[in-house]
Amino acid sequence: DVKVTQSSRYLVKRTGEKVFLECVQDMDHENMFWYRQDPGLGLRLIYFSYDVKMKEKGDIPEGYSVSREKKERFSLILESASTNQTSMYLCASRKSSYNEQFFGPGTRLTVL
């Protein structure tokens, strides 16, 4: 079974803090993704990585950066958290050449 894990289920941070969200997958998948999910807006792609040290902007990259130093790990960084980044953050991975993405359990981030 594919397993995607995220470092925290719930996180509360203050405005201006630097925030790291970690995602790890154990199935040797090449591609990894970060989404945010907000009521009424659905799933929106922030960044994705198609291989180690490779990254591509998604639909809403502003205010975020990512790091992929190892194949199994994909980090999302909020350089200076703002209240409008309060959201549910979902990580996903997939084997390249297959379309199925497998999601982690999500991190609910609240920025005060």
Partner 1 sequence: GQQLNQSPQSMFIQEGEDVSMNCTSSSIFNTWLWYKQDPGEGPVLLIALYKAGELTSNGRLTAQFGITRKDSFLNISASIPSDVGIYFCAGGAFGNEKLTFGTGTRLTIIP
E-strand stretches of 4-106: 4-6, 10-13, 19-25, 31-38, 42-49, 56-57, 64-70, 73-78, 87-94, 102-103
Q: Is 52 in the site for partner 1 (CB under 8 A)?
A: no
Interface residues for partner 1 in 86-105 (CB under 8 A)? Answer: 90, 94, 96-97, 99-105
- Give whichever of 16 and 105 is closer to partner 1, judged by the CB atom: 105
61 near partner 1, judged by CB under 8 A:
no
Nearer to partner 1, 4 or 24 (CB): 4
Site residues for partner 1, window 3-32 (CB under 8 A)?
Answer: 4, 31
| Residue 93 backbone phi and psi in degrees, to 5 | -140, 160
Of 33, 9, 22, 23, the closest CA to residue 93 belongs to 33
User: By CB under 8 A, how many residues form the interface with partner 1?
Assistant: 25
For residue 76, which of 13, 3, 2, 1 has the smallest C-alpha distance?
13
Binding site for partner 1 (CB under 8 A): 4, 31, 33, 42-45, 48, 50, 56, 58-59, 90, 94, 96-97, 99-106, 108
